[in-house]
Structures are given as structure tokens and as C-alpha cells.
């Protein structure tokens, strides 16, 4: 669906998923930091409250992930996530060159967006990593920690729970890094707020690209 220079990129189910996911992940990062570093000298909020909120929003992200996964599987949105490996490195280099140099010289983007291309190669790779590796990994390790009796007791004489917790915290750290890069990249465009408007009203403005 196109209206003048606008493309309807974000259907309602995707925007609902994204809104719940963004809010929940922010709460999870905040409460997660509070739990990870809690000691007598560092306390952002009550520890018990942090644990309870972390559990509630962790389950929210898990159920909401089903909406993303099934929605992507059942609609044409999945086509934007198909990655062609041939020439990928070359395409990524072109995009990085644009972000680090071309963009500041007012050059045209190497992969302008259109009906067939919603993401540039760098966005595609980071979204695939975040949505099909980091978030599912967080969900699996998080559920395991919620039901610790499901975790193997020892892995090479190291506690299974400890290993799962380290993996969970590491993936949380990677999602936090993703979020920082995501927010920066989303602010690039004709106006820094354009993309943020798109993920709310569904329409992406391609004029000037």
C-alpha cells in the first residue's frame, strides 16, 4: 500500500508487538542491572520488586515474541528478513561506508528503501541477530532460570544454574548494545524523529532518500 512518497511498512500487529517489546525490554534492562549489581552500596530499587517485575516483563516478552514469530511467519513481512549470503560482506561494507562517511557528505544511501526493501543490509543482519538469536536465547535461558529444576546440575564441574545465568546476562548485555545501535540508526534520515513516527503510525516516508 503506497500513498505518495509513503510506504505502509509497519502493519498494526507489528506495531503492537514492537511497542510491548520495546517497553518490556527497557524494564528488563533496568531491573536486570539492579539485580546484577545489587549490594549494600548500590541499589536503584527494592530487590524483591526488581525480581518480580523482571519475571512479569520476561513472561510478557516471551508471549509477545510468539506474536512476532507467528506474525512474521504468516504475513509478507517475512520477506524483509530473507538474507542472501552471496555478496553480503560487500553490501555490509557499502552500508558501513555510508554510515561512517557518505552520510556526512550528503551522498545518497547505497540501499534506498522501497516496497521491496524495508531494511538496509546492516539493519537486516542486526534484526536477524536480535530477533532470531539474542531474544530467543534470552527467553530460553530466562525460562530455565525461572524453573531451575529443568537445568542440568553440573557442566564440567561448573554449576549449570551459574552457566545459564552467565549466558542469560551476556545475552541481555548484547540486546542492550543492540538497542543503543538501533536507536542511533533509527534516528538517521531526513528528520531524526521520522522513523520513530513510522513505527507508531505505520507509514515510512521515502521522499528525499
CB of 4 to ligand HEM, least distance (A): 19
Which residue's CB is nearer to ligand HEM, number 24 or number 164? Answer: 24
Q: Distance between CA atoms of 184 and 173, rounded to whole angstroms?
A: 17
Whole-number minimum distance, CB 174 to ligand HEM, in Å?
Answer: 10
Residue 205, classed as helix, strand or coil, is strand
In angstroms, give the least distance from the CB of 115 to ligand HEM: 13
CB of 141 to ligand HEM, least distance (A): 15
Contacts of 179 by beta carbon, 8 Å cutoff, 6+ apart: 25, 29
Nearer to ligand HEM, 18 or 163 (CB): 18
Give the start-end residues of each E strand in the chain: 2-3, 6-8, 154-155, 158-159, 203-205
Residue with Cβ nearer ligand HEM (162 or 196): 196
Nearer to ligand HEM, 136 or 160 (CB): 136
Return contacts of 24-29, CB within 8 angstroms, 24+ apart.
24/57, 24/60, 24/61, 24/64, 25/61, 25/175, 25/179, 27/53, 27/54, 27/57, 28/54, 28/57, 28/58, 28/61, 28/172, 29/172, 29/175, 29/176, 29/179
Q: Which is nearer to ligand HEM, 93 or 183 (CB)?
A: 183
Please tell me whether residue 2 adopts helix, strand or coil conformation: strand
Q: Which residues bind ligand HEM (CB under 6 A)?
A: 10, 14, 18, 21-22, 25-26, 77, 80, 118, 123, 127, 130-131, 135, 175, 179, 182-183, 185-186, 195-196, 198-199
In the complex, the smallest distance separating the C-beta of residue 104 from ligand HEM, rounded to whole angstroms, is: 19
Amino acid at each position: 500500500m503506497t500513498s505518495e512518497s509513503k510506504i505502509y511498512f509497519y502493519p498494526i500487529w507489528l506495531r503492537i508487538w514492537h511497542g510491548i517489546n520495546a517497553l518490556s525490554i527497557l524494564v528488563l534492562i533496568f531491573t536486570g542491572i539492579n539485580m546484577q549489581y545489587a549490594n549494600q552500596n548500590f541499589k536503584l530499587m527494592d530487590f524483591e520488586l526488581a525480581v518480580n517485575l523482571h519475571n512479569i516483563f520476561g513472561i510478557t516478552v516471551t508471549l509477545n515474541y510468539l506474536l512476532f514469530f507467528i506474525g512474521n511467519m504468516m504475513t509478507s513481512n517475512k520477506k524483509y528478513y530473507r538474507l542472501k549470503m552471496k555478496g553480503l560482506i560487500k553490501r555490509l561494507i557499502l552500508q558501513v561506508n555510508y554510515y561512517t562517511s557518505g552520510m556526512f557528505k550528503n551522498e545518497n544511501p547505497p540501499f534506498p528503501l522501497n516496497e521491496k526493501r524495508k531494511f538496509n543490509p546492516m539493519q537486516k543482519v542486526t534484526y536477524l541477530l536480535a530477533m532470531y538469536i539474542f531474544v530467543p536465547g534470552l527467553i530460553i535461558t530466562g525460562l530455565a532460570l525461572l524453573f531451575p529444576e529443568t537445568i542440568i546440575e553440573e557442566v564440567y564441574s561448573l554449576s549449570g544454574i551459574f552457566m545459564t545465568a552467565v549466558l542469560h546476562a551476556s545475552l541481555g548485555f548484547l540486546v542492550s548494545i543492540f538497542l543503543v545501535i538501533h536507536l542511533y540508526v533509527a534516528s538517521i534520515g531526513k528528520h531524526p524523529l521520522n522513523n520513530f513516527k513510522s513505527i507508531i503510525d505505520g507509514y515510512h516516508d521515502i521522499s528525499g532518500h
